[in-house]
Amino acid sequence: MEPRVTDRQAMILAGLLQGVLLLSLHEWLRAFGYTASDLAWVAPAYALAMLAPVTFGFLKGEFPLRRSLAGALAASLPFAATAAWLGWSSRPFAEEPRILAPVVSGLVLFCVASVVAWFILLPFVQSRLREGRMAFQYARLFDDAWRNALLLANCALFAALFWLLLKLWAGLFLVLRIEVFSDLFTSRSFAYLATAVAIGFAISLEEREAGALRTLRRHLLAFQTRLLPLAALIVVLFLGALPIAGLEPVWSTGHATPLLLGVLVILVCLVNAAWQDGAQPPPFPVAVQWLVRAALALAPVLAGLCIWSLSLRIAQHGWSVDRVWAAVLVALATLYALGYAACALMRGWLRLLGTINTWLALVVVATLLAIHTPLLDPAAMSAGSQARRLLSGATTPERFDFDHLRFDLGRAGVGALHALAGLGDHPQAAVIREKAREALARKDRYVPAPVVLDEAAIRARLVAYPTGSRAPDGFVAFLAERLANRSASHDLLALRSGMAVPLLAIDLGMGPEPELVLMAEPFPAFALVDGRWRQIGYFSFSGLPAKADEIAALLQRGDVRPVERAWSDLRFGDRKGILMLRPDQP
C-alpha cells in the first residue's frame, strides 16, 4: 500500500515548489538578462508562481487534492492572463527588445490590484468547491474571507520570526568565528526555498488554530464597531454644514476627491465590521442605528461630490493613468454608496447588506481584472485623451508632452505618436508631425535624439527681431551645416528642441553688418567675418536666465540695446549680458 501524503506534507511540498519556481526565474534572468520583451512571459510566470501554490495551501486543508489543484488554477489563471497583457502592452518597442519601458509604477499597481482581487475571489472559489454550484451564502463568504485574512497575517508573522531566529542562529556562531551558517542563510537558494517552505508550513497550522482565529476576529471587529457612530456623525455633520459653507472651500483644497473617498470607504468598512455576517443583533441602540442609517442614506452625496471633483480635473487636464484609476475607485465606491443607501431606506435593511456585498465583491474582482485588459486599459485611455486634447487645440504643440506618450504609456502611447506623426488635415499638422517624429526617434527620455534639420525647417523655427526682419539665407545655411556636425552643435540645442527660437539682429561693433544672437540658452552670438558666418561667443546674463515668454515680450517691445565696450555687451531689460569671446568655430 502506497503511503498517503498528508495535508500538511502537501502544503509544505507546494511551498517547496513555489520556492523552486521563484528561484528558477531569478536564476534565468540573472543568466540571460532582462529585456522589455521578456515582461510578456516573466509577469505571468511570476503571477502563477506567487498565487497558485499559496492558493493550493489555503484550499488543501479542506478539499481533496484534485479539487484543490482545480481551485488553485481557477484563482490564479485570470491574473496570469492579465499579467501577460500588462507585459505585452508595456513594451512599446517591437523593433528594439533591449530597451526597457519605465513600467515600475504600473507593475506596483498591478501587484496591489491583483492581490486585492485574488483575496476577494478566494472565498468564492472556496464556496464553489464546497457547495459544488454557484450558490454563495454570505455568512460563509464572510467567514472564509476573515479566516484567509488572519491566516495571511499569521503566515507573514511566522516567516518574519523564522528569519529572525535564523539571523540569531548565524550571529551566535559568528561570535565563535563559524561562518558556515551565515553563508548558508544568506545564499539566494536557501532564502527562496526556506521562506517558501516556512510559509507552506505556517498555512498547514491553520486548521488547528481555527478557534483562536475566530476569537481574534471577534475582538478586532468589536474594536472597529465602536468607531461606527463617530464616522456616521462626521458624515451627517459635514453634509449638514455643506449647504452653509458652500463647495468652494471643498474644491480649494486641491485634494477633495481623496478626502471624500476616504470617508466613504471608512464608513462602509465600519458598517461591515458592526454587522459582520448578520448572525448577531445590531450592536447599538435604536437612536444610534438611525444615525448610521442617516449617514448611509447620505453616502451617495459623498460619492456625487467625488464624481464632480474628479470630472472637473478631467475636463481641465484630460485623462491620465492616475485619473483612470481614480475614476475606477470612485465608480466602485459609488456603487457601494448607492447599494448601502438603498438598504438603509428599507425595512429589515441589515439583512440586505449581505446580498449587496456579495454582488459588489464580484464587480470589484471583474473591474480589477478588466483594468489590466484592453477593456479598461488606463494607458490607452490616457494616450487617446491627450492626443484628442492636442488635436482639438486644448493643448498647444509647444506645451504638449510628447515624451509622456513615448516613454510612459507603453504601446498605446507609441501608437498614438505614430498616428500624430502621420497627421494630415490639421492647422498645425506640420509642427505636430515633426515633434511626434522627434519623440519617436528618441531612445532615452533625457537624451535628445539626433535631429537633422534642413534650411526650410530651421527658418520655420527662427523668429527674427526686430519685428519684420528676416534671417539671412547665408546664416540659415551656416546653422544647417553646424547642426549636421553634432560635435559643433551644442550651442544650438534650442533649435533641436522644436521650440520657436528668437533671432536678434543687433550691432555689437564687429563689422558693418549687424551681428545675430539666438535668444535662447546658451545665447550664442554670430558675426559675418570675411564674408563667412562665425560664432564669436555667447552671452552670460546676470541673474536668472530669462524665460521664453519674457524674452519674447522684451524683444517685441524693443527693450534691448548694446552696451559700449571694446566688444559690446548687451543690456536686456534689467539684465546685463556679457559677451564671452572664444575661438572661431567651424
pLDDT of residue 325: 93
Q: Are 525 and 535 in contact (CB under 8 A)?
A: yes
Residue 481 CA to residue 308 CA, distance in Å, equals: 55
Q: What average pLDDT does the segment 146-167 reach?
A: 92
Q: What is the Cα–Cα distance from 576 to 382, expressed in whole angstroms?
A: 44
- Spatial separation of the C-alpha atoms in residues 143 and 33, rounded to whole Å: 45
pLDDT in tens, 67-87: 999 999 999 999 999 999 988
Percent of the chain surpassing pLDDT 70: 82
Residues 35, 100: contact at Cβ < 8 Å? yes
Residue 246's pLDDT is what? 83
In 90-187, alpha helices (H): 104-131, 138-175, 180-185
Q: Which H helix or E strand runs over 539?
A: strand 532-541
What are the respective helix, strand and coil percentages of the chain, to the nearest 5?
Answer: 65, 10, 25
Please state the domain extents for the chain.
7-217, 226-376, 379-441, 455-581
Query: In this structure, how many other beta carbons lie within 10 angstroms of the beta carbon of residue 443?
Result: 11
Region 101-127 average pLDDT: 86
Q: In the structure grid, which three cell numbers stand for residue 111, read together?
A: 501587484
Non-local CB neighbours of 282 within 8 Å, separated by 6+ positions: 274, 275, 289, 350
Q: What is the pLDDT of residues 8-37, one digit of tens each?
A: 888 899 999 999 999 999 998 888 766 667
Report pLDDT for 302: 92
- 95's CB contacts (< 8 A; 6+ apart) are none
Q: What is the pLDDT of residues 495-516, one digit of tens each?
A: 766 667 788 787 776 667 777 8
Residue 434's pLDDT band (cuts 50, 70, 90): confident
Residue bearing the bigger pLDDT, 519 or 103: 519
Q: Read off the pLDDT band of 520 (50, 70, 90).
A: confident
- Give CA–CA dist 180/97, Å, rounded: 42
pLDDT for position 424 = 82
From the number of C-beta atoms within 10 Å of its C-beta (0-12, 13-18, 19+), residue 408 rates as: buried
Q: Of how many residues is the chain composed?
A: 586
Rounded to the nearest 5°, which phi and psi values hold at 345? -90, 0
The pLDDT confidence band at residue 232, using thresholds 50, 70 and 90, is very high
Rounded mean pLDDT, 90-106: 56
Across 357-370, average pLDDT: 94
Task: List the one residue out of 513, 534, 532, 535 whose CA is nearest residue 522.
Answer: 535
pLDDT of 161 > 80? The answer is: yes
| Tens digit of each residue's pLDDT (9 = 90 or more) over 250-300 | 777 777 788 889 999 999 988 888 887 766 677 778 888 889 889 999 999
* Distant-in-sequence contacts of 418-426, Cβ < 8 A, 24+ apart: 419/387, 420/387, 420/390, 423/391, 426/391
C-alpha closest to that of 302 among 266, 270, 274: 266
3-state SS assignment for residue 580: strand
